[in-house]
Structure 1
Amino acid sequence: MAAAGAEFQTDTDTEVVAQLLAKYRRDGMGCQEAMHAMLKRGKGTFGLAILFQDDPSTIIAARNGPPLVIGHGDGEMFLGSDAIALAPFTNDITYLIDGDWAVIGKTGVQIFDSEGNVVTRPRQISMAAAHLVDKGNHRHFMEKEIYEQPEVISHALSHYINFIDNQVLPVSDDIDFARCQAWRSPLAARLTWPG
């Protein structure tokens, strides 16, 4: 890509997707044609949702590995990582399978397989109840997950640290935590080994 004149701003592999799509568009390909050409070159796992500047009412999504779910609404469509994320909006969903990519408009979707053939994936009613999903006071689920990180980390650490006695709990004789850099942190300096 760099040899073709692309100027990368980051070290992320996601930017390669954007740069490759931009190149195909400059070469005269339409949105769907560029997406299919890019996907044929892609390797690894990904879940993509692409918006093109000249067609902002269409999302082109692709899946290889991580789940991707299309939600069908009344005059609107949704895209999410799972049925629970879509539960507040719709329970009418379609799961993409590995290699699928989809063109999602305001009122419908067309799904393609990795070869570019139009395919049909079953629509189903999700059992994820909207009342079980709550963003709290957060604008979206990602923001909620960010603010929940201290609590999640605390729960994970509680399996290995006795916070009341400030001691690290024995995990295994095969692991020498004294040799791990993480255990030389300020937190580790306050903890004592049992025995």
Structure 2
Amino acid sequence: MAHLILASSSPRRRELLLQLGLTFEVFSPEIDESILPDENAEQYVARLAQAKAYAVLQRFPNATVIAADTTVSVDGEIIGKPQSKAHAFAIWQKLSGRCHDVLTGVCVANAVNALHRVVQTQVEFQQLAPHDMENYWATGEPVGKAGAYAIQGQAAQYIPRILGSYTNVVGLPLHETIELLKAIDALN
């Protein structure tokens, strides 16, 4: 396989790829992550993953790049990362006692080809009491996480079930990522 670069500064994505025994470098591009008018969650994560991949390819044209972007969506609304404690509480009130979707756009690209897909997982959150929110916020774990939670951390206690890929909720659907890597290798 060609020189592999993960286009992400996410330690969770790095750890997931390391689980697979892949050798890769990390380079996190700076891109505008603003939501475009009338853009839904699927379009949003697909666009950002592709933008990250192309930004890294401009700098490393001989590499194969894995790029991803993850977001949470409820009732068609894209739920980003919390900007404050109050914002995290507002997010949890939307997620509390119901299901939401976690979507990750994955793009695997090289100088010749780019393949991408969006993976969706449904996550059920239990009803959160104010003391649950206070305790979880105090851990520091929600900061910088889409939907203000980390399923691989203490938030797991609030999630009775998921439907779909667990690694997608962590930030990188491994099965689909490997399938894209195999497919792009087959095209070369």
TM-score (norm 1): 0.26
Structure with more contact order per residue of length (Cα contacts < 8 Å, sep ≥ 6) = 2
Q: Which has the higher helix share?
A: 2
TM-score of the superposed pair, with normalisation by structure 2: 0.27
